[in-house]
Structure 1
Amino acid sequence: MDSISYSEEYRQLQMKLNEVEKENTLLKKKLEEQNRIWDRRIIAFQTINVGLIIFDDNGVIRDINTCLCDYFNVNINQVVNRNITHFLQQEDRSMIRDHLNHIKTKSGLIRNVLPLTIHGRKHYFETQTSQLPNKLGFFTIIGKITEKFEKEREKEETRKLYNDFFTEALDGIVLWKETGQIIAANSSALKIFESSEEKLLKSKISDFIYKKDSRYAEMVMSLYYKKSNREELMFLMPNGQKKILEFTTKLHSVEGLNMSIFRNVTERYKMEEELRESKVMFENIFEEVFDGIILWDQNYTIIDMNKAAERLLNENKESLIGSNLLSYLPSAKTIGEDIKPKLLKLKKDGQNQGLYTVKFLDNREYTQFEYRNKFNIYSGLSITTLRDITENAVLEEQLRKSSTLNVVGELAAGIAHEIRNPMTALKGFIQLLEDGVASQENEMYFSVIKSELTRIESIINEFLLLAKPQAVQYVKRDVRQIMNDTIELLHAQAVLQNVQITKMYSEELPTIYCEPNQLKQVFINIIKNAIEVLEDGGEIAISIECKEDCFHIAIRDNGEGMSKEKLARIGEPFYTTKDKGTGLGLLVSYQIIEDHQGKVIVDSELGIGTIFHIHLPIRRESVD
């Protein structure tokens, strides 16, 4: 091989270098062109007015364009390198996984609807996905939110919801035309109208109206004026059954059709009617029952009371409602008969009962009630019932006293007969002894013996008065004179006891038909008892006045007074508070006043004194 000169070799190298430079220039131009194409692609990727996403086989997002970032108001760094399932709700993730597996096995452009959730809000997109060459991943074009799709979806959901509501509703739903012709009805409507679907769709709603009267006409006019209404009417079913239906109607409600929703309220109406009748019956019973009824709440506030309670308490209902029951009720005659402790214990006991003897402010006499209390009978309300048994109690007391008087009378007759004869003999022999052995030393003993014999004789006379009726002659007398004679008779005893007797008589008092000696005996018994009570002295005030058709005689002392227990027994046979008393004096006095058709009322308070009130009628004619 011929040797090559250095110059030739240089020339060849220079030619190769030129070729390389040309090739390099061409490659550079080609690279610049490719860069310009890439830049244009990037610009197009970022500026195109549709969303673009590039993600790999695993669903990891590798790139996203500006349009989609701006639409979702996110930064590219918040999206890139995150799996696309991160932007789907849990229930939609299985769908996107199935979609990824599908596009891996298919070529070409694959369309789908993608539900993406950004910032907690769900968006629906139309997507077109294709594979990138060389298995570089997938390229997806995402269009803007498809409003049509959302509207169709909402419409479908609304249609499904409406169908569910229409089909499954418990109320009857009927769609009808302007002519009244029924177009559709659910199963509940078929049950209400007791009809098959075929028959019902051939009918009009007006065919079922039981009574097309003026009220029905007004209802129809109101419906077409207001476009909707809510009413109740009686409907007649094909089987002849009558039903009261509550219905709501709205015109042009569904696709131009009118809709009525029906509910059978016949049973409810019957129950309400029964309830109203029961309420009226209860109110009538409550108001007309003979026993007084008081309703009160947990704070003892009076809520209601019936007419009998108004009559028994002598109060108006309106003035007592809202008052406190414990504060209103006065204290009983005795502690054992007080109703208030029983009311306070009612919550614990549940119910209780007893007797309540009380004197109201406007009444001078005691009233005796039989009461029953029951706690929380209804809705926090408790009840107290009162029955006036005063008359029964008085009759029982009179019967008891009458029985006692009969026994006392029989006893008195026997005792008086057996004692009077020996007493006559004793008095005679004492008189003989006194005449025979009279001396200054024995005079005191004889005086004591005669005094005690006189006292025994007085007791025998009281027995005899109870033992047999006395022939009484009633005459006209001045009651003031009888009282003055009595005071004069007891004046010496009053002075000895340091008791002052004061009198206060009304002027121009009428005369009274009476038995003077018996009235004097009554006055003696009461005034003498008062003097004996005032052991350390005191005052007795006597007043006589005329009130309406009766005399009122009051004898007051300022002694120690009596307890309610003792006061309740005053006038009983053989009951006395004195050491040497027999208990017959007041018994006889009560009997005398009762024979005069009067009454005796005793008021007494410990530490203040006692008042005997004697009420005697003014007689125009003598009593037989």
Structure 2
Amino acid sequence: MDNFFKSVRKHIDRLDINQLRGQYARALEEVVFLDTLISTIAQGILVLNEQGEIVRANPAAHTLLGMAPADALRYLKIPVGRASKSEITLTYPDTRTLEVQTQPMHGPTLVLLRDITAEKARTNAELRAGASHAIHDLARSVAHEIGNPLNAISLNLQLLARDYPTNESIAECRRQVKRLDGIIRDFLQALRPTKLALTAGSLVEPLQNCLETLKNELKERKITVRTDFARSLPMVALDKNQMEQVFFNLLKNALEAMKEGGHLTLSAEADDTSVSVSIQDTGCGMGKEQIAHLFEPYRSTKTNGHGLGLMICSRIVHDHGGSISAESVKNAGTTFTVKLPRLEPRVRQLES
């Protein structure tokens, strides 16, 4: 290190005052240019230190958030040192949707904020139509490829049952065929958007129902479960059956990500406008590329996955007026967070 500074000093000693002034002026021009660029860009930019504190924020971040970035940071819960992508809906001073992306930078964390309100409004109908068309094509293919041979098997089993009415093996086969037929019907039904049957209830209840259904599988896979639910969570408007479908899918994904056992942490909390539930596993995690394409059809982290499960979860949650996001670290685990609006948003009196 001493040799380095000696070398730098020798270089400086060889420069006259005019050369030093010229290099300083050029460096200053570069700094001013970059500062102007960051200040005028329409995308919000935040730089967080390793403690999650803001060390730089451009004016666009203040405008997009509708408040001082340091104040907004308490509500955004931005992951520090992790790559993530999520969407948030803000209601002050007007309703808008922001895309929030984080990218670690060998210490600091870069946070990019982008207003996608107009983009979502402009393309939402097209995306829904395209996704719906693709899903219906897949549904028809599934019905043809599986339904037809399944019907043939069922008919032949009925004929065998007439000749061997007491044969337990035939009876068991018929039960399993009936079960498989029900699974296919449920799968196809899940792909078709259905009208929500909203009632006032707890967002934790459907999660607990799914946990009860999966308790034996959790035990077999040697997965421990820890719950951290805040007391007296406010009510939300939800379709319990459809939200159970969301949580069941997320829990199954978490189980399948922990091949050798692990820990599952379920938490729930509320703020002034919403109630959120988080499902955190200690599984294999996902990379930045996988995170970027979550909730898109035909993209799956599983070898034989079709990528429709998370897309259906996203559709159901957004139909509830909520949001779903994911954070993940490769080989460390993944956290999914589902957020639904409170039935009665809490009004906080602003400090004078």
Regarding TM over 0.5, the answer is: yes
The answer as to whether partners of 1:561 and 1:606 remain within 8 angstroms in 2 is yes
Q: Is the contact made by 1:462 and 1:584 (CA closer than 8 Å) also made in structure 2?
A: no
What displacement does 1:333 show?
5.4
Structure-1 residue corresponding to 2:157: 430
**Contact conserved, 1:549 with 1:618, CA < 8 A, in 2?**
yes
Please give the alpha-carbon distance, in whole angstroms, between the structure 2 residues aligned to 1:521 and 1:571. 15
**2:137 matched to which residue of 1?**
411
1:446 to 2:173 alignment: yes
2:325 corresponds to 1:586: no
Counterpart CA distance in 1 for 2:149 and 2:34 is 68
Q: Relative to structure 1, is the Cα distance of residues 316 and 573 closer, same or farther in structure 2, using a 3 angstrom cutoff?
A: closer
Q: Mapping of 1:69-80 within 5 angstroms?
A: none
CA distance in 1, matches of 2:316, 2:306: 17
Which one of the candidate residues 228, 251, 256 is aligned to 1:527?
251
Alpha-carbon distance, 1:613 to partner: 0.9
RMSD (CA atoms): 4.1
1:570 to 283, 294, 303: 294
Question: Given the superposition, is the C-alpha separation of residues 580 and 332 from structure 1 closer, same or farther in structure 2, using an over 3 Å criterion?
Answer: closer
Give yes or no for contact 1:474–1:513 (8 Å, CA) kept in 2.
yes
Partner Cα separation in structure 2 for residue 534 and residue 331 of structure 1: 23
| Distance in 1 of aligned mates of 2:267 and 2:127 | 29
Counterpart contact for 1:405–1:466, Cα < 8 Å: no
Conserved 8 A contact 2:83-2:327: no
CA distance in 1, matches of 2:251, 2:122: 29
Q: 1:542 aligns with which of 241, 258, 266?
A: 266
Aligned partner of 1:402 in structure 2 is 128
Change (3 A) 1:542 1:331: closer
Output the CA distance in 2 between the equivalents of 1:617 and 1:572.
24
1:525 CA drift (Å): 0.4
Structure 1 position 427, deviation (Å):
3.6
Instruction: State which structure, 1 or 2, has the greater radius of gyration over its C-alpha atoms.
Output: 1
Structure 1, gaps ≥5 residues long: 1-294, 318-329, 335-355, 369-387
Contact 2:157 2:170 in 1 (8 A): no
1:312 to 19, 35, 44: 44
- Displacement of 1:509 after TM fit? 1.1
Task: Give the SS at the match of 2:195.
Answer: coil
1:465 to 2:190 alignment: yes
Tell me the SS of whatever aligns to 2:196.
coil
CA distance in 1, matches of 2:258, 2:82: 28
Partner secondary structure for residue 601 of structure 1: strand
CA distance 1:540–1:430, change in 2 (3 Å): farther
AA matched with 1:359: T
Matched AA of 1:312: G
Between the aligned partners of 1:365 and 1:443, the Cα distance in structure 2 is: 62
Deviation at 1:552, TM superposition (A): 1.0
Residue 245 of structure 2 aligns to a residue in which SS? helix
Residue in structure 1 matched with residue 199 of structure 2 by the alignment: 475
Distance 1:545 1:403 in 2: 34
In structure 2, relative to structure 1, the CA distance for the partners of 1:608 and 1:399 (3 Å cut) is: farther
1:497 equivalent in structure 2 = 221
CA distance 1:538–1:478, change in 2 (3 Å):
same
Distance 1:316 1:393, change over 3 A: closer
Q: CA 1:311/1:574 → structure 2, altered by over 3 Å: closer, same or farther?
A: closer
Equivalences for 1:67-106 in 2 at 5 Å?
none
Higher RCO (CA < 8 A, seq sep 6+): 2
Which whole-Å CA distance do the structure 2 matches of 1:366 and 1:306 have between them? 13
8 Å contact 2:266–2:279 — kept in the other structure? yes
Report how far residue 528 of structure 1 moved. 0.9
1:423–1:562 distance in 2 versus 1, CA, 3 Å: same
* Secondary structure of the structure 1 residue equivalent to 2:250: helix
Write the distance in 2 (CA, Å) between the matches of 1:313 and 1:487.
Answer: 39
Q: Aligned match of 1:359 in 77, 87, 102?
A: 102
Aligned with residue 602 of structure 1, among 326, 329, 332: 326
Which position in structure 2 is the counterpart of 1:516? Answer: 240
| Contact 1:434 1:446 survives alignment (8 Å) | no
Q: Give CA deviations for 1:592-620 in whole Å, capped at 9, x if unaligned.
A: 10110111111011121000011111125
**CA separation of 1:477/1:519 partners in 2, compared to 1, >3 Å: closer, same or farther?**
same
Look up the equivalent residue of 2:102 and give its one-letter code: K
Deviation at 1:360, TM superposition (A): 7.5
2:286 and 2:201 mapped to 1: Cα distance?
33
| Structure-2 change in CA distance of 1:417 and 1:310 (3 Å) | closer
Equivalent position SS for 2:214: helix
Q: Which amino acid in the other structure matches residue 188 of structure 2? A: F
Tell me, in whole angstroms, the C-alpha distance in 2 between the residues paired with 1:390 and 1:609: 28
> 1:308: Cα distance to partner?
3.7
Cα distance in structure 1, aligned partners of 2:235 and 2:180? 33
Letter matched to residue 612 of structure 1: F
Unmatched tracts of structure 2, length 5 or more: 1-26, 47-56, 60-79, 85-98, 346-352
Counterpart AA for 2:338: I
